[in-house]
Chain A
Amino acid sequence: MATYTLTTPLSSEDTKMLKAGDTVFLNGTIYTARDAAHKRLVELIEKGEELPFDLEGSVIYFVGPTPPKPGDPIGSAGPTTSYRMDSYSPTMLKHGSKGMIGKGKRNQAVKDACVDYDGIYFGATGGAGALLGKQIKSAEVIAYPELGPEAVRKLEVENFPVTVINDTYGNDLYQMGREQYEVKD
């Protein structure tokens, strides 16, 4: 299991290098979207309309942060549970997005899309909102402000710590890790 430092946007060359279990420190721009925002983004893609940001090489963070304290760019910002985005993620990957950050297992369609479109599903530590929020240096709402915590934000991150869960080869760290430590009587 290796450790990498990568800057967004990600290329297929970047993602094909990664294997389930690797640690990655992400730098650059990432975008936030949860359930409600994904629904709207996928509707725009299906209608062939312009998105609020360029999907090519993008990394999407599944997060709904706490309100920032005065002087801070963002509040606490750890990942939300990812399966709620399972029905939208393959479309996002098909249209150029290369990475997702969340927590918890994904369905087979998402894992297949990671293989087909060189995508990576990264896991961040759920509940480590204060630690992860500190790695976000700026935040700007760029779409759907009416969704509150679920609005789409453009974030600049520095050394944002994530682990590769699903890689471009069909591996799944959740399955691999569990098989290794499961005790069968």
Chain B
Amino acid sequence: MREIEYSEVVKAVKDMIMYSGTDLPQDTYDALKEAMEEEKSRVSKEVIRQILENADIAKDEKRPLCQDTGLAVFFVKVGDQVKIKGGLLKDAINEGTEKGYTEGYLRASTCEPFSRANLKDTVGYNLPAIIHFDLVAGDKIDIEYAAKGGGSENVSRARVFPPAAGKEGIIEYVKEVISDAGGNPCPPITIGVGIGGTFEKAVISSKHALFRDIGSVNPDPEMAELEETILNEVNKLGIGAMGMGGTKTALAVHIEANPCHIASLPVSVNVQCHSSRHTHITL
């Protein structure tokens, strides 16, 4: 059984958070650059130019890309031949999150649901992190992280369709969600679509789909084709960068599909803003 020090996990998580806060991932940067070149609207083109200039400033001066530094979301795969020495893995991820947000001067955005009181005095700075664990074979721990902002989360939706809705129903549903959202989720967006499973499985899959690099190809050819179809349809809506009108509303559509109940076709649409801060390490 391999052992990993608790403090090593804390430091790795802290570093991921601080880096993500200021350095836009290359896949997102490249996709935005391409979108700027192809955008037909002068106003939207200028908005994307500002977004890229913002990314350059944030990286060079180590300033947060956006003031909404999000809730910290993790997908963690834990090997069955590894254990943490000196504490619990969950505690180490939370401790790394608190350190990363504090030392990186990132905003604490968590609060109680009704009093809206900020939790930093009770639970900790931007805690608790949202952590999804999975158990796998091996002696490694794989940690995927994304900072999830509120504006894009607020427009996300899920619904369980009857099976007859099929692909057409899913395409129409995604268009409806993105059309209603307009400029609110900070387009050009990435759209995560979770299909199948149960209600919650679809939702979690739509979140995980956002962690995939923009420009990567879905290994399932049927899903890759559906991603392309939805992307083209969404970009016909004319929303454009920050809703100002244009041809580049979305940079990518990512689908994660699962087997589902014979009676159901669950669909979840989770939206990510243009500041798609996501990263990944293996310990």
How many angstroms from the CA of A182 to the CA of B147 in the assembled complex? Answer: 31
How many angstroms from the CA of A177 to the CA of B187 in the assembled complex? Answer: 14
How many angstroms from the CA of A125 to the CA of B118 in the assembled complex? Answer: 26
Given contacts A178-B245, A183-B236, contact A131 B116 (CB under 8 A): no
Chain A residues in 8 Å Cβ range of B191? none
B183–A103 CB distance below 8 A: yes
Q: Is A73 close to B, CB under 8 A?
A: no
Q: Among B63-71, B160-168, B252-260, which stretch is in contact with chain A?
A: B63-71
B245–A75 CB distance below 8 A: no
B235 nearest CB across to chain A (Å): 8
Chain A residues in 8 Å Cβ range of B54? 125, 127-132
Where the two chains meet, the residues of B that have a C-beta atom closer than 8 Å to any C-beta of A are 22, 40-41, 43-44, 47, 50-51, 53-54, 57-58, 61, 63-69, 105-109, 116, 118, 150-151, 154, 182-184, 186, 236-240, 242-247, 273-275
Given contacts A21-B43, A105-B183, contact A69 B105 (CB under 8 A): yes
Chain A, interface residues (CB within 8 Å), range: 35 or more
Report how many A-B pairs have Cβ atoms within 8 Å: 166
How many angstroms from the CA of A68 to the CA of B238 in the assembled complex? Answer: 37
Chain A residues in 8 Å Cβ range of B64? 66, 75-76, 129-130
Q: Is A10 close to B, CB under 8 A?
A: no
B243–A66 CB distance below 8 A: no
Q: Is A9 close to B, CB under 8 A?
A: no
How many angstroms from the CA of A178 to the CA of B151 in the assembled complex? Answer: 20
How many angstroms from the CA of A68 to the CA of B64 in the assembled complex? Answer: 10
B48 nearest CB across to chain A (Å): 9
A177–B245 CB distance below 8 A: yes
A76–B244 CB distance below 8 A: no
CB < 8 Å neighbour of A181 from B68, B240, B273: B240
Chain B residues in 8 Å Cβ range of A75? 63-64, 67, 105, 107
